[in-house]
Amino acid sequence: MEPDVSQTMLDNPLREGLSLERLPSPCAMVIFGASGDLTRRKLMPALYDLALEGLLPPGFSVIGYARSPKTNEEFRAEVRESIQQFARRTPIDEGLLSNFEQGVSYVSGDFSSPDDYARLNEELDRLDRERNTSGNRVYYLATPPSAYANIAHHLADHGMVHPLDDERWTRLIVEKPFGHDLQSARELNETLLKYFAEEQIYRIDHYLGKETVQNMLAFRFANGIFEPIWNRTFIDHVQITVAESIGIENRGGYYDQAGALRDMVQNHMLQLLSLVSMEPPPDFDAESVHDEKVKALRSIRPYQPEDVEACTVRGQYREGWVMGQPYPGYRDEARVDEASVTETYVALKLFIDNWRWAGVPFYLRTGKHLPRRVSEIAIQFHKAPHPPFESNVTQSLEPNVLAIRIQPDEGITLKTTAKVPGPSMRLRSVNMGFLYGTSFLVESPDAYERLLLDCMLGDSTLFPRRDGIEASWEPITQILEGWDASGKTELPGYPAGTWGPDEADEFMERDGRQWRQP
C-alpha cells in the first residue's frame, strides 16, 4: 500500500512540534501555463517537497492546464522528471512520488475557449468525488500577464469562483510582472476584482518567501536591542543589493520591454525596503503587516522629473567574462533591439519622508552579469563621534554594518571593531553573526514551498496587497517618466563580470560613501 502524502508528517523529524493548524484543508490546484519553465523548475518540485514534509492535505491534487496536447501519463512523466531534477531534498522517495503522481492530471486547453474551461470544471468535479478535494480551489496563473483577465473571466463565467461566504474557498495566485507602470497595475487590479475579492487574490513575490527575508520581521521586532537604534539617529544609510551573475537567459523579448527597474526594483527590492523601514505592526496578522508596509512605501519621497537623472544611474552590460565564461553584450543578445536603451543595471537613491527615516538615504542597486549572485541588505551606522584613540589608529576603521544576507549563504552578520591581541592599541573590524545552515542544521525551504503552503492556508501575510502594489509603482513610474524625458540614446556600459558602470561608483562618491562589496 502506498503511503498517504499527509501521513509522512507523523514520522518526519523536521515536523517535530509543528501545529496541525499548518495543515491546509483538502483542495485542488490548477496551474495555468503548466508547460512552462516555472512549473517545471519551481512549482512541481516545491509541491513534492511539501508532500515529503507532510504539509499537503489528504487527497491534494494538481491539474496542469496548457495549450500543448498531452495525456495524463505524459504530463506525469514530465512532473516526475522535474521533481527528480529540481526537488530540494534528495534522494527521491519513490513511494511518495508515486502517490503524489496519482493526484496529478492534465487538461489541454486554450485560455479563451469556453469548451476547454467546461472540461476543466468536469475534471475538478471528478477530483471532488474521487479524491475528496471538497470544492476548494487554488488557481495559479503561471502565464503571460496578457492572459490574466481572460482566465479570470472564464473561471467566473463557468462557476469556478466561489464567493467569500461559501463554505468552499477559491484563491488566485498571480505571478509578476503585475503591470508595467502605475496605470496598468491599477487597471489589472480593477479587472481581477471584477471576478475575485481582494481576499482571494495572492500576488506572489518569491523573495518574500525566503527565510532571511521573513527573519527580518523576527530580527527587528523580537529583539529588544535593535529596534531602539533602527532610526535616523543611529543609521547613516541603507544599501540593498540584488546582484545576478546570469544575463537575460534567452528572454530578450521580455527583458527589452521591462529592464532592471521594472524586473527587480519595483517588486523584489521595494518589498525588501518596506520590511526594513516599516513601523512595528500591532499584531503579526496579514492586515497589520500590510498596513505598515504600505505606509512605508507611501512615504517614499516623490521623484521630480528634473531630479531623476541625479538620483539614478543606468547601465548596460557589454561583452565580457563571467566566472571564466565569455558573454556577448546586451545589444548582441537575441531579440534585443540593436539600439536598445533598456537598462540591465540600475542604481538609485531614495528617501523615506517620515519621523524615523528623515534624511537617511536608501541606496538600491541591481544588475545582470555582475561578478556573483548575491542579495543582501546592509544597514550602515554612524561612525563613533569621538573615539579616544590616536588619529593614526582609527583612520582605517570601518563603520559598524549590519548585513542581512538573503542569498546565498543566508545569515546575518554585524561588523564591529575589536583590539588586535598584542602590546599596542591596534584595532580591526571583525564580524559577529550566524548562518542558517550551521545554526539550525536544517536546509531552508524553497521560497515557493512557503508561499504555496501559505496560500492554501489562507495566510496572505507574505503576499503584497493591492494598495502595496500600486504604492510601489508610484516612484518607479516617476523614474520611468524622468528617463523618457531625458531622451538618452546611449547608456553607460560595463563589461560583463564587473560591478556595474563607473558612473555608479561616482554616484556614491558624490555623497561621500561607497558601495559595499558583498
- Give the position of cell 477530483: 127
Between CA 350 and CA 372 the distance in angstroms is: 25
Query: Does residue 408 have a cis bond before it (omega within 30 degrees)?
Result: yes
Query: Does residue 177 have a cis bond before it (omega within 30 degrees)?
Result: yes
Q: What is the DSSP string of 149-205?
A: HHHHHHHHHTT----TTSSS-EEEEEPSP--SSHHHHHHHHHHHTTTS-GGGEEE--
Between CA 121 and CA 131 the distance in angstroms is: 15
Please tell me which residue in 154, 206, 237, 268 is annotated as part of the active site.
Answer: 268
Query: Order of strands across the sheet with 401-407?
Result: 427-435, 411-419, 401-407, 374-381, 235-243, 361-367, 345-351, 312-318, 493-495
What grid cell was written down for 361?
538615504
Between CA 306 and CA 391 the distance in angstroms is: 42
Non-local (6+) Cβ contacts of 282 within 8 A are 288
Q: In the annotation, is 237 catalytic?
A: no
Q: Are 121 and 63 in contact (CB under 8 A)?
A: no
Query: What phi, psi does 498 have (nearest 5°)?
Result: -115, 175
What grid cell was written down for 169?
474557498
Non-local (6+) Cβ contacts of 405 within 8 A are 212, 374, 375, 376, 411, 412, 413, 518
Pick the closest to residue 141 from 150, 132, 133 (CA basis). Answer: 150
Q: Report the DSSP beta bridge partners of residue 427.
A: 419
Pick the closest to residue 487 from 308, 252, 247 (CA basis). Answer: 308
Catalytic residues, which ones?
268
